[in-house]
């Protein structure tokens, strides 16, 4: 054999392996989507369910509490979930996803269990509002970051599956709470909810893995982003969108009762109905044929405008069917 036909150890050492991209399929990749599904189920799904709890608090549990005080519990919960993404995102990027996952799971469970034993407004604010909100803040951003790490061409489908969990959670939890409270009481209802959270987030803790590949190096706060005017305007638009996005979920049950449209038992199911309908709205923007034709910003504009029109139409819906 000629020397040219021999591959020396020196030349082999110079061969560079191409970095592998996302697997874009396979059992392990789809298990990540299952785990992310349950993260979304127990973050956005729980936030979307608060209207049922508020209706119960107004009826019996905290009858002396005003609407502002009771809605503050759900508002703190939602605020902590969204705001803590500012911290959870960089932590996730640095490879500490397992720590976020375990801590977030623990906080949601702890908050839900202590909620079961809460007797006053401040106890509920600290347990259901603050503690659960902190836990959800650790999980909400990773839930969105998982699909791009495992999928490329199939990412819209994978992402649609994950975000639809918010609607499914918003259906299951309100119906569960509304049906169990008259049968077993508030304490055991919260403990049953905690059991569902333990099972579903337990699956996430078992199947989810830290995404492989090089980690982006970034500072905790990228100040240069605020010099990009279109980006700043987009962020401001998102801020105003979220200011009104979950108002309907928090108050539709109370509104239906106060306006004598229906009784409190039936009004609580309006939350589940809204969340069930939102499943289609969560999946539709991830359908490639729709996204490629309209674009994400145009899709958001249509959604926000439609939501505003529908909310204004509440006054024109004097009965349960219209609402």
Average pLDDT over residues 44-59: 86
Average pLDDT over residues 49-68: 77
Average pLDDT over residues 154-168: 87
- Helical (H) or strand (E) element with 164: helix 155-207
Average pLDDT, rounded, for the chain: 82
Q: Specify the residue for token string 């939102």.
A: 278
Six-digit token string for 11: 């030349």
Average pLDDT over residues 260-287: 76
> What is the pTM for the complete model shown?
0.81
Query: What is the predicted pLDDT for the residue at 23?
Result: 73
Query: What is the predicted pLDDT for the residue at 3?
Result: 47
With both helix axes pointing from N to C terminus, report the angle between 85-93 and 67-83 in degrees, rounded to the nearest 10. Answer: 20
Whether the pLDDT of residue 323 is over 80: the answer is no
Closest by Cα among 70, 180, 85, 63 to 128: 70
235 against 108, higher pLDDT = 108
C-alpha distance from residue 140 to each of 39, 41, 60 (Å): 7, 10, 32
| CA dihedral of residues 270, 271, 274, 279 (deg, nearest 10) | -140
Share of the chain above pLDDT 90, in %: 30
Which of helix, strand or coil describes residue 15? coil
Query: What is the predicted pLDDT for the residue at 156?
Result: 82
Query: What is the predicted pLDDT for the residue at 206?
Result: 96
Query: What is the predicted pLDDT for the residue at 63?
Result: 64
pLDDT digits 0-9 by tens, 225-258:
788 888 888 888 888 877 777 777 777 777 777 7
Average pLDDT over residues 84-109: 91
pLDDT digits 0-9 by tens, 2-26:
444 444 444 444 444 444 567 777 8
What confidence category does residue 218 fall into, taking pLDDT thresholds of 50, 70 and 90? Answer: low
| CA dihedral of residues 20, 22, 26, 27 (deg, nearest 10) | 110
DSSP tag of 210: P
Average pLDDT over residues 89-104: 90
CB atoms within 10 A of CB 280: 10
CB 88 within 8 A of CB 76: no
Query: What is the predicted pLDDT for the residue at 217?
Result: 67
What confidence category does residue 65 fall into, taking pLDDT thresholds of 50, 70 and 90? Answer: low
């Amino acid at each position: 054999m000629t020397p040219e036909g021999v591959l020396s150890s020196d030349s082999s050492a110079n061969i560079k392996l191409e970095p592998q991209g996302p697997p874009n399929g396979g059992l392990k990749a789809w298990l990540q989507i299952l785990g992310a599904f349950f993260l979304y189920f127990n973050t956005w799904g729980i936030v979307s369910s608060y209207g049922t709890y508020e209706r119960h608090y107004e009826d019996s549990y905290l009858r002396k509490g005003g609407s502002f005080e009771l809605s503050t519990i759900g508002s703190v919960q939602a605020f902590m979930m969204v705001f803590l993404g500012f911290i959870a995102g960089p932590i996730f990027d640095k490879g500490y996803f397992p720590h976020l996952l375990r801590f977030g799971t623990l906080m949601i469970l702890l908050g839900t269990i202590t909620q079961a034993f809460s007797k006053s407004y401040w106890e509920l604010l600290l347990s259901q509002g603050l503690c659960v909100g902190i836990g959800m803040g650790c999980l909400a951003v990773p839930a969105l970051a998982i699909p791009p790490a495992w999928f490329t061409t199939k990412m819209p489908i994978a992402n649609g599956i994950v975000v639809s969990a918010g609607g499914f959670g918003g259906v299951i939890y309100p119906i569960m709470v509304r049906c169990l409270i008259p049968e077993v009481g508030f304490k055991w209802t919260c403990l049953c909810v905690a059991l569902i959270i333990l099972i579903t987030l337990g699956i996430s803790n078992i199947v989810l893995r830290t995404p492989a590949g090089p980690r982006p190096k970034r500072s905790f706060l990228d100040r240069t982003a605020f010099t990009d005017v279109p980006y700043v305007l987009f962020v401001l638009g998102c801020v105003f969108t979220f200011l009104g996005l979950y108002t309907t979920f928090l108050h539709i049950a109370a509104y239906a009762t106060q306006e004598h449209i229906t009784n409190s038992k039936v009004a609580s199911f309006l939350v589940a109905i809204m969340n069930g309908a939102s499943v289609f709205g969560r999946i539709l923007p991830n359908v490639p044929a729709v996204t490629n034709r309209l674009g994400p910003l145009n899709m958001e504009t249509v959604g926000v405008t439609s939501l505003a029109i529908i909310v204004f139409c509440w006054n024109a819906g004097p009965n349960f069917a219209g609402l």
